[in-house]
Structure 1
Amino acid sequence: MKSPTQSIIPPLGPQEISARARHGILAGIWLAQFLSVFPPYDTTTPFNTFAVLSEISSDFKRSNEASWVGTAYLLATCTFTPLYGRLSTVLGRNGANQSALIFAALGILACGLSRNMGMLIAARFISGMGGGGIFTIASIITSDMYTMRSRSFIQSIGGIFYGLGMGLGGPIGGAITDWLGWRWAFLIQIPFFLIAYFLTTFNLSYAMPGTGRSTKEILKRIDYGGSLCLLGTMGSILLFLSLKYHDGLSWSTPTVILTLISSVIFLILFLVIEIYIAVEPILPVSFMTEKVPVLVGVSNALVAICNLSVTYYFPTWFQTVMLTSASTAGLHLLPNSICISSGSFFAGWMMKRYGRYKMMNLTFGILPFCAAILMTQMKETSNPAHLWLSIMPLGFGNAVVLQTVFIALVSSLPESQMPVGTGFAQLLRGIGQVGGLALASALFQSRLNTELHKRLPSGSEDLIKKIRHSARLVATLPPDTQRLARDAYASSIKSVFILAASASLLAYIARIPVGLFNQSFLLTLI
């Protein structure tokens, strides 16, 4: 029998758990990170998986709706990812991680069981509700379990799995599609999600202050209004840009005007809710006055614009200008994935060894800009090394940037604000992803429309529309027309690369003051 004076043993803290439990948690979150970018059609590997999406579109006979499969995932990621910073505090790390995994797995399962394109789009939205949260929770858990010096290295290993998922998702998904059918490319992931779920659930038992609130209190504190208004804002902007630049509708068209007006209304409502109404807003106003979180968030958004622009249109250049197959065009993204993994590991190792991040950021952070400039100079007669390797500085440089700015962010915040700060940075990164893809697509379609009208004879409206909406059509055109279409695509994609270069340069400039405002990082490592 315990004596009256014997105290109850308190639960272990995150840095007090056993090495075995810690390794089990890491295995679970890293597997989840790999799966979150592995799906056969994701926002990060569109051309690597072109054959899979083509098979799905043919099966459902709805190829004109195929672009919304990726867009739905992006919208959900942008909208729901910031909530996980708050959920990790009120639900606990385990509860928030379980929520992210369940949504991601349910979405993947629904993709494999989809009976029409509408169901598939909805399933990808559900998957996105969890997919973005997986990365946010992984960052928070890593920050809990490790000191500042060690967490940068551990975080970098997670970046390796992210790069592997990007690089292997397309080829493996395509092989499974050819062998078993496209549904199994989704369904085969479910057992691995279950493994990730059990690894984290049974090992993630440490306690954090402020958790354990009642379900009723948790539900009251969720920022429903802000999330819905953010979804409405980004969705309306995407619809507006799609109608105006992809479908080519005029400014006087009612749907174009309505989507533009609705985006402004939703944006105003979002800001009002975040400033005056939400108990725990997904966009904390207090962070908007803090220099480091704002600069890191702006950098994340601009880096996302650069990455999405290049990821979508770099393979397009090879398919439409060089006339390679879709699978070969997608393979040109593989060096980028390899460099993401190596750059992430390099940054983590350097910070763990030397405890410095600013010089790395200044040195390697300019590489993505150089890569985008190299892409603008690509020609059909370019050296193969130029065509294959020009994307490599992009992946390596941005991997270093994302690792170093994350450490800059968490070291500038008190421990209690770290989860919310992580969600804040992820929110701006998500906005950059959605906005970057929308801007790149609008710029590309507008420039392509202009270039085709300039090159093709009058009365070619039907042909121009077909060329704009199908990259595969270019290879089937008569030689003279094909030459004109290839030149138009080359010029249009060059504009997208210029956009990527501009975003990357602005991101670099935004990061320069971060080290000046945040000097505490080195002190915590010495």
Structure 2
Amino acid sequence: MTAASESSPLLPIADSPNESGAKKLSPTAFRIILGCLYANVFLASVDSTMVATLLGKMASDLDSQEHISWVATSYLLSCAAFQPLFGKISDVFGRKPVILFSTVCFFFGCLMSGVGDNLTYLIVGRMITGIGGGGFFTLATISVSDLVPTRERGLYQGYINIFFHAGSASGGVLAGIIDAYFGWKWAFLIQVPVCFITGLAVYLWFELPRKADANDDKTHWENFVSLDWTGAALLVTSLLSLMIISGTNGSELPVSSYRWKGLAAYTVVGFVAFYFWERKTDQPIIPVKMLHNQTILASSLNCWFTCMNMFSSLFYLPFYWTSVKNVSPLDCGYRLIPSSLLASFTSVFCGWMIKKTSRYRSLHILAGWCMFLGSGILYLSTKDDSSFRDSIISLPLRYGSASNITTILVAMISAVPQSEQALVTSIQYGFRSTGSTMGVSLASALMQYILRGTLDSNFDALKHVKLPDGWTAEMVKAAKLQALESPGYAFGDAIPAVIHNAIVSSYSTACHGVFLFLIGTGLASLICIYFTEENDLDKTK
């Protein structure tokens, strides 16, 4: 019997069309394995949506509006660094130990985020949590690829997305309820016992033999040190540099300063060095040589822009409701439910259609147009929109991104021989993790730039109007600085209407700048789809 590759089913199911002599996995064992994987994906998804919903509240409580995006990007940065490595590490040590390691990181990251009393502690905790979350998502996809044939992967990826979007739908509501009764820190602390339970379930019942490998004659340590740590270091330091130059305000790190220019130069040089290093190394974390394939390149860029769009909208749509409309975290969660449920249905529908028809191009093109037009619809939102309109305004966008993510993986693995499907899965996760990190970082930088400029303009205009009774020019200046740190400041009882309007208008303009960014990424994704070729999924690679 031939050795299993990460892209072919590791253990055939009872009705799998693999070699008749292969050991079969019982349906019960198959369901237990999937249950463990889906539980982890659900937990990581709940965590992400909780943070997105509470971002504005955390910024106000910690007086750190200009730096609050680091709570999101620190999580995404550690995901970007470790996601591409987890597949290869699990080849060395097995899937189960790596899932347990991810569970431990997630456990302690949530605990640290919940007990910390300052922004730095929270950011470090989120970074540790991101290592675990990255492992949950990566190992779910890889383990499913071990178990099911190519034609059915779209369907099972859809099942994974059900739990992802179910977590997204419930996370916002749970965050709002927890914040209302216990405070936002308990949104992290409540995940600690849940994480312990899922980790215990994995330890007791998750059994998936490590795949056969050409390097089985080497020790675990020799295989571990042979991983592409140089590539990982170049990637994470380049992303970190990008986060610093995009996530700091002009007063702390002026664009004209040598430090800013040095970091900007390193960002460019680091990404270029990463590309050339990945071309020459034997075990790249992102095998860039395969990007010479038109479909792989187009799909990778599509995944990049889609994740930029998806994660930026995930974080900044609730932030818009909070900072412009004074919507509570609980109400933000309620307004996210319809789009999350639609995304769950879409993932399964697309997977089922691909399995039934062995075709995906029509679904792909429709997804691209929905994402592009949905971003435009989001830009048309106003602070006077009803809660019902808020609940449905992101439906086209969520359909497009959910459908796109499902079909991208199918397009990529169908474009290469079966022996190379694990490599393109690695490429997809590399572009997915870097796209989400860069998307949130760039959206944050754009919002901060517009917010500062608009606040300056709006408050300068107040010099030509009569100030409210009891207010002096110094108080107005202090109000502007406070508005930069706390998006909820405008809704204080003692804030005059003229000050309130100046602040809310500034946040609205800044958030709409982010929505313009979503339109740009949606258009880029749509263009990439037209360069993606459709391959016959029934053809044996």
- What is the total number of aligned residue pairs between the two structures? 505
Counterpart in 1 of 2:432? 429
Counterpart in 1 of 2:25? 17
Counterpart in 2 of 1:390? 393
Q: 1:299-332, CA deviations, whole angstroms, 9 ceiling, x for partnerless residues?
A: 1110111112212221222223323334323432
| Correspondences of 1:205-244 after superposition (within 5 Å) | 205=209, 207-210=211-214, 212=216, 213-244=218-249
Whether 2:537 is the aligned partner of 1:521: answer yes
Counterpart in 2 of 1:347? 350
Relative to structure 1, is the Cα distance of residues 49 and 86 closer, same or farther in structure 2, using a 3 angstrom cutoff?
same
Which segment drifts farther, 446-455 or 320-329?
320-329
Relative to structure 1, is the Cα distance of residues 313 and 242 closer, same or farther in structure 2, using a 3 angstrom cutoff?
same
Relative to structure 1, is the Cα distance of residues 144 and 238 closer, same or farther in structure 2, using a 3 angstrom cutoff?
same
Which of residues 23, 26, 39 in structure 2 aligns to 1:31?
Answer: 39
Aligned-pair distance for 1:380? Answer: 3.4
Aligned-pair distance for 1:264? Answer: 3.3
Matched residue type, 2:530: I
Whether 2:448 is the aligned partner of 1:451: answer no
Aligned-pair distance for 1:23? Answer: 1.0
Counterpart in 2 of 1:356? 359
Aligned-pair distance for 1:185? Answer: 1.8
Matched residue type, 1:26: L
Counterpart in 2 of 1:48? 53
Counterpart in 2 of 1:271? 275
Rounded to whole Å, the distance in 1 between the matches of 2:458 and 2:517 is 23
Counterpart in 1 of 2:500? 482
Rounded to whole Å, the distance in 2 between the matches of 1:331 and 1:24 is 31
8 Å contact kept, 1:305–1:433: yes
Give the unaligned 5+ runs of structure 2.
13-23, 464-472
Rounded to whole Å, the distance in 1 between the matches of 2:499 and 2:67 is 27
Whether 2:122 is the aligned partner of 1:125: answer no
Counterpart in 2 of 1:4? none
Report % sequence identity: 23
TM score, norm. by length of structure 1: 0.87
Rounded to whole Å, the distance in 1 between the matches of 2:102 and 2:51 is 23
8 Å contact kept, 1:140–1:418: no
Counterpart in 2 of 1:473? 489
8 Å contact kept, 2:299–2:408: yes
Which segment drifts farther, 379-388 or 126-135?
379-388
Whether 2:334 is the aligned partner of 1:331: answer yes
Matched residue type, 1:380: K
Whether 2:383 is the aligned partner of 1:367: answer no
Relative to structure 1, is the Cα distance of residues 64 and 377 closer, same or farther in structure 2, using a 3 angstrom cutoff?
closer
Which of residues 143, 146, 166 in structure 1 aligns to 2:145?
Answer: 143
Aligned-pair distance for 1:69? Answer: 2.8
Matched residue type, 2:168: M
Rounded to whole Å, the distance in 1 between the matches of 2:385 and 2:67 is 35
Aligned-pair distance for 1:200? Answer: 5.8
Aligned-pair distance for 1:405? Answer: 1.1
Rounded to whole Å, the distance in 1 between the matches of 2:387 and 2:254 is 41
Relative to structure 1, is the Cα distance of residues 108 and 480 closer, same or farther in structure 2, using a 3 angstrom cutoff?
closer
Relative to structure 1, is the Cα distance of residues 389 and 96 closer, same or farther in structure 2, using a 3 angstrom cutoff?
same
Whether 2:504 is the aligned partner of 1:501: answer no
8 Å contact kept, 2:177–2:330: no
Counterpart in 2 of 1:260? 264
Q: 1:468-490, CA deviations, whole angstroms, 9 ceiling, x for partnerless residues?
A: 33211121231012122222222
Rounded to whole Å, the distance in 2 between the matches of 1:135 and 1:13 is 19
Secondary structure (helix, strand or coil) at the match of 1:222 reads coil
Whether 2:308 is the aligned partner of 1:305: answer yes
Whether 2:346 is the aligned partner of 1:379: answer no
Relative to structure 1, is the Cα distance of residues 288 and 490 closer, same or farther in structure 2, using a 3 angstrom cutoff?
same
Counterpart in 1 of 2:168? 166
8 Å contact kept, 1:104–1:130: yes
Q: 1:391-420, CA deviations, whole angstroms, 9 ceiling, x for partnerless residues?
A: 111112211111111111122233332223
Relative to structure 1, is the Cα distance of residues 93 and 175 closer, same or farther in structure 2, using a 3 angstrom cutoff?
same
Q: 1:32-67, CA deviations, whole angstroms, 9 ceiling, x for partnerless residues?
A: 11111223xx3x443423588479x66xx9887654
Rounded to whole Å, the distance in 2 between the matches of 1:297 and 1:233 is 19
Matched residue type, 1:228: A
Matched residue type, 1:258: G
8 Å contact kept, 1:355–1:522: yes
Which segment drifts farther, 346-355 or 226-235?
346-355
Which of residues 445, 449, 458 in structure 2 aligns to 1:442?
Answer: 445
Give the unaligned 5+ runs of structure 1.
1-6
Rounded to whole Å, the distance in 2 between the matches of 1:243 and 1:147 is 46
Q: 1:490-516, CA deviations, whole angstroms, 9 ceiling, x for partnerless residues?
A: 2222221111011112101101222x2
Aligned-pair distance for 1:158? Answer: 0.8
Secondary structure (helix, strand or coil) at the match of 1:467 reads helix
8 Å contact kept, 1:467–1:474: yes
Aligned-pair distance for 1:106? Answer: 3.9
8 Å contact kept, 2:379–2:516: yes
Relative to structure 1, is the Cα distance of residues 497 and 256 closer, same or farther in structure 2, using a 3 angstrom cutoff?
same
Aligned-pair distance for 1:193? Answer: 2.8
8 Å contact kept, 2:454–2:506: yes
Q: 1:180-223, CA deviations, whole angstroms, 9 ceiling, x for partnerless residues?
A: 9626323222323324422663x213644446442132123211
Which segment drifts farther, 502-511 or 463-472?
463-472
Kindly report the root-mean-square deviation, in angstroms, between the aligned alpha carbons of the 2 structures. 3.0
8 Å contact kept, 2:67–2:248: no
Relative to structure 1, is the Cα distance of residues 23 and 208 closer, same or farther in structure 2, using a 3 angstrom cutoff?
farther
Relative to structure 1, is the Cα distance of residues 200 and 399 closer, same or farther in structure 2, using a 3 angstrom cutoff?
farther
